C-alpha cells in the first residue's frame, strides 16, 4: 500500500520525536513512557484486526495531574493524541497513528468508592466492566451494561463507545447508567460533569460525552449506577425453523408490552459454533435460537414465561426450554457470550459488524443479509441483541486469500446501508471509529455533519484528539478548510492492513 504524502505537522513531529519522548518522561517518569518499537507492538492494533500501526510513543499515566500535563503539553506543541482503554474496540476507535501520542489509561484501574445508600460506584476508567460487578456482588448488587467482552473491556472504553450488552434492552446502555464523569480537556483543564445525584441542571454535556469516542476529552473518573440483583431470573431457549419467524417473535414479545431482561438471537451457524465451544445445551436442529431472560418477582417471572411461550408458539417455535437453576441460566448465557470466539474457531478471520434497526424490520433485514451473503460469496453468522435491534453479523473470510478482506468490507458496508435504509443507524454500541467513518454521509447530510464538527471544535480547536475517526470530511475550526478522508486513506499516517 502506498503511503500518502504527510502534511505538516506530521513530518515536524517525527523530527521532534526524541525531544517529545524526553519531555513526556519528565511528566510520566519510570516505566510510564514506552518508545521502543518491540514494546509498542502490544498497542499497534485493537479489536478491529484488519489494521495495525505503531504510535509515535505510548504514555501510561497514573494520576489525573499526569494526564492533564500530557494533554496540555500536546496542545501547546501541536501533537495529536489517541486515547485508549483496553484496546477491545471493534470499530478501530483506539487505533494508533504514527504521529500521535497513544495515551493508555489502563493504570487507572481502581474502584474508588462504593456508595450503597445512593446505589453508585465511583471507578477509574481502566477498571473492567465485569470488575464493577465483582466489586459489589457481595452485597447483592451488579452493574447492568454487560458487553460480551466484559471480562476485558474497560469502563472508560464503554463510556467512549456507549457500550450496551445482552441486558441493555431493559436496563439501558452505558449512557443510562453513568451519573458522573471527571474529564480532562485537550488544554489540560480538569472538569466534572454530573455526580451522585440523579439529574443535573444546565446542558446535558454528560450525555454528549458518553459515546464521543475520545474526540472531546479524556475520562479519568466515572460514577456509575449499580442495581440490586432481581429476586428471580430465568432464561428461556426457544428454537425456530427460520430466522424470519424468530425475528417476528421478538417484535411480537415487545409489542405485547413485555420487556425481558434480554432477548438475544443466534442463527444456525453461530448456534453450532457456540455449542461446540461451550456445550451450553443449545439445540442443533433449528435455524434460529432466541435466549429470552425474564426477571423480577417470582410470580411475575412465572407468568411472563408462560406468555412468551404462547407468543413463541404462534410464531412457529419448535422447541422451548426454561432454566431450572442459576447454574443452568448462566450456562445458557455462556454460549451466547462466547459466540464471537466460537466463530473464530470455524473461520480463519471474521469481520464483526454493528448496526441497529427498528425491531419490526428484523425479518426484512435478515432476509436482505442472506441475499448479500450470496452476492459476495461469503458466509455470515448472525448473533445479536435482538430485543433492541442491535445486529452483530459476523462475516467469515480468509485474509490470506487475495480480495476476500475487501469483499468482506464491502459486504459489511452494504449491511450498514441496509440498516439505515430501513430506518436504523450505523452503530449500536461499537462506535463509528474508522470502520464506519466513510459511511456517515449515508445517514447524515452535510449540515448534520457540520454541526457535529462545530461541537468537536468547541472542545478541541486544533483537532488533536483521536484524529481521523468518525468524520469522513473534517472542517478546520479556524479557516473552515476541508481535510478529506476517502476509503480509509488518511492524509496523515496511513494505517496499513495486516
- pLDDT, residue 482, reads 40
pLDDT recorded at residue 444: 96
Considering the domain architecture, whether residues 310 and 270 belong to the same structural domain is answered as: yes
Note whether 280 and 187 are same-domain residues: no
Distance CA(341)–CA(5), nearest Å, equals 38
Tell which of 69, 87, 104 closes a domain: 104
pLDDT of residue 496: 52
Listed in sequence order, the DSSP H helices in 256-346 are: 268-278, 298-314, 326-337, 339-344
Q: Is residue 493 part of a domain?
A: no
pLDDT of residue 66: 98
Sign of CA dihedral 273, 279, 284, 288: negative
Residues comprising the chain, all counted:
498
Which pLDDT score is estimated for 485?
35
Structural domain including 470 reads 437-484
DSSP helix/strand/coil, 331? helix
pLDDT value of position 487: 37
Of 82, 104, 126, which residue sits at a domain end? 104
Assign residue 362 a region (left: φ > 0; alpha: ψ between -120 and 50; beta: otherwise). Answer: alpha
Reference 90, options 314, 412, 481; nearest CA is 412
Helices (H) and strands (E) in the chain, counts: 17, 22
Which pLDDT score, from 0 to 100, does residue 199 have? Answer: 78
Q: What gap in Å lies between CA 344 and CA 54, rounded to an integer?
A: 25
Question: Which positions ≥6 away from 211 have C-beta within 8 Å?
Answer: 159, 160, 161, 162, 174, 175, 431
pTM of the model: 0.91
What beta strand segments (E) does 405-496 contain?
Answer: 473-475, 482-484
User: What's the gap between Cα 92 and its chain centre?
Assistant: 10
* Residues 419, 365 share a domain: yes
Which residues, in sequence order, are CB contacts of 30 under 8 Å at separation 6+? none
pLDDT at 202: 85
φ, ψ for residue 285 (rounded to 5)? -110, 20
How do 100-104 and 57-59 pair as beta strands? parallel
| Cα 491 versus chain centre, distance | 26
Please state, in angstroms and rounded to a whole number, the distance separating the CA atoms of residues 414 and 199.
Answer: 40
Residue-by-residue pLDDT tens, the chain, 498 positions: 333 344 455 668 889 999 999 999 999 999 999 999 999 999 999 987 778 899 999 999 999 999 999 999 999 999 999 999 999 999 999 999 999 999 999 999 999 999 999 999 999 999 999 999 999 999 999 999 999 889 999 999 999 999 998 899 999 999 999 999 999 999 999 999 999 988 778 899 999 999 999 999 999 999 999 999 999 999 999 999 998 899 899 989 999 999 999 999 999 999 999 999 999 999 999 999 999 999 999 999 999 999 999 999 999 999 999 999 999 999 999 999 899 889 989 999 999 999 999 988 988 998 999 999 999 999 999 998 998 899 999 999 999 999 999 999 999 999 999 999 999 999 999 999 999 999 999 999 999 999 999 999 999 999 999 999 999 877 767 644 444 333 333 333 445 544
Q: Are residues 57 and 99 in the same domain?
A: yes
Backbone torsion region of residue 487, taken as left when φ is above 0, otherwise alpha when ψ lies between -120 and 50, otherwise beta: left
Distance from chain centroid for Cα 369: 22
**What are phi and psi for residue 380, nearest 5 degrees?**
-135, 130
Please give the pLDDT value at position 48: 74
* Domain end residue (candidates: 201, 228, 255): 228
Running DSSP on this structure, what letter comes out for residue 352?
A: E
Q: How far apart are CA 235 and CA 369, in angstroms?
A: 28
Considering the domain architecture, whether residues 209 and 241 belong to the same structural domain is answered as no
Residue 280 lies in a domain: yes
Cα separation, 72 vs 162, in Å, equals 26
- Give the CATH number for residue 259: 3.40.462.10
pLDDT reported for residue 10: 62
Q: How far apart are CA 225 and CA 163, in angstroms?
A: 15
* One-character DSSP codes across 16-82: THHHHHHHHHHHS-TTSEE--HHHHGGGS--S-TTB----SEEE---SHHHHHHHHHHHHHTT-EEE
CB atoms within 10 A of CB 260: 25
pLDDT digits (tens, 9 = 90+) for 385-443: 998 899 999 999 999 999 999 999 999 999 999 999 999 999 999 999 999 999 999 99
Looking at the 3D structure of the chain, how many domains does it have?
4
- Tell me the CA distances in angstroms from 190 to 71, 182, 222, 460, one per residue in order: 11, 7, 13, 14
Residue 484: the pLDDT is 37
Say yes or no: 288 and 368 in one domain.
yes
pLDDT of 490 reads 38
256 shares a domain with 139: no
What pLDDT, on the 0 to 100 scale, is given for residue 12?
85
Amino acid at each position: 500500500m502506498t503511503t500518502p504524502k504527510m502534511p505538516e505537522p506530521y513530518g515536524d513531529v517525527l523530527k521532534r520525536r526524541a525531544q517529545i519522548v524526553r519531555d513526556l518522561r519528565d511528566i510520566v517518569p519510570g516505566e510510564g513512557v514506552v518508545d521502543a518499537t518491540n514494546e509498542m507492538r502490544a498497542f499497534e492494533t485493537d479489536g478491529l484486526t484488519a489494521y495495525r500501526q505503531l504510535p509515535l510513543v505510548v504514555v501510561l499515566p497514573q494520576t489525573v495531574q499526569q494526564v492533564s500535563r500530557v494533554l496540555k503539553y500536546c496542545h501547546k506543541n501541536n501533537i495529536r493524541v489517541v486515547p485508549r482503554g483496553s484496546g477491545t474496540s471493534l470499530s478501530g476507535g483506539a487505533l494508533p497513528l504514527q504521529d500521535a501520542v497513544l495515551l493508555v489509561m489502563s493504570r487507572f484501574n481502581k474502584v474508588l468508592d462504593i456508595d450503597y445508600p445512593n446505589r453508585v460506584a465511583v471507578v477509574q476508567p481502566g477498571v473492567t466492566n465485569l470488575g464493577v460487578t465483582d466489586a459489589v456482588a457481595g452485597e447483592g448488587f451488579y452493574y447492568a451494561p454487560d458487553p460480551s467482552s466484559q471480562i476485558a473491556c474497560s469502563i472508560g472504553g464503554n463510556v467512549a463507545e456507549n457500550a450496551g450488552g445482552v441486558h441493555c434492552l431493559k436496563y439501558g446502555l452505558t449512557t443510562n447508567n453513568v451519573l458522573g464523569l471527571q474529564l480532562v480537556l485537550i488544554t489540560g483543564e480538569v472538569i466534572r460533569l454530573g455526580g451522585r445525584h440523579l439529574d443535573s441542571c444546565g446542558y446535558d454535556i454528560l450525555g454528549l460525552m458518553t459515546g464521543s469516542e475520545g474526540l472531546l476529552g479524556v475520562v479519568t473518573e466515572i460514577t456509575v449506577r449499580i442495581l440490586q440483583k432481581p429476586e428471580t431470573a430465568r432464561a428461556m431457549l426457544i428454537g425456530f425453523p427460520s430466522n424470519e419467524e424468530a425475528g417476528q417473535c421478538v417484535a411480537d414479545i415487545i409489542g405485547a408490552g413485555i420487556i425481558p431482561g434480554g432477548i438475544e438471537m443466534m442463527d444456525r451457524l453461530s448456534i453450532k459454533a457456540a455449542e461446540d465451544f461451550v456445550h451450553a445445551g443449545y439445540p442443533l436442529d433449528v435455524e434460529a435460537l432466541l435466549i429470552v431472560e425474564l426477571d423480577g418477582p417470582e410470580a411475575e417471572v412465572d407468568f411472563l414465561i408462560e406468555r412468551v411461550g404462547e407468543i413463541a408458539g404462534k410464531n412457529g417455535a419448535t422447541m422451548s426450554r426454561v432454566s431450572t437453576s442459576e447454574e443452568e441460566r448462566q450456562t445458557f448465557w455462556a454460549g451466547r457470550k462466547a459466540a464471537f470466539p466460537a466463530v473464530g474457531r470455524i473461520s480463519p478471520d471474521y469481520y464483526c459488524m454493528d448496526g441497529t434497526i427498528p425491531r419490526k424490520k428484523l425479518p426484512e433485514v435478515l432476509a436482505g443479509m442472506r441475499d448479500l451473503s450470496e452476492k459476495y460469496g461469503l458466509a455470515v453468522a448472525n448473533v445479536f441483541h435482538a430485543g433492541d435491534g442491535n445486529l452483530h453479523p459476523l462475516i467469515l473470510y480468509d485474509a490470506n486469500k487475495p480480495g476476500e478482506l475487501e469483499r468482506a468490507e464491502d459486504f459489511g458496508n452494504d449491511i450498514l446501508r441496509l440498516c439505515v435504509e430501513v430506518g436504523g443507524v450505523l452503530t449500536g454500541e461499537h462506535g463509528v471509529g474508522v470502520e464506519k467513518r466513510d459511511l456517515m454521509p449515508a445517514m447524515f447530510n452535510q449540515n448534520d455533519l457540520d454541526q457535529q464538527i462545530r461541537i468537536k471544535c468547541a472542545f478541541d480547536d486544533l483537532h488533536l484528539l483521536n484524529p481521523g475517526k468518525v468524520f469522513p470530511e473534517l472542517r478546520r475550526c479556524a479557516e473552515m478548510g476541508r481535510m478529506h478522508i476517502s476509503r480509509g486513506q488518511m492524509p496523515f499516517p496511513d494505517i496499513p492492513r495486516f
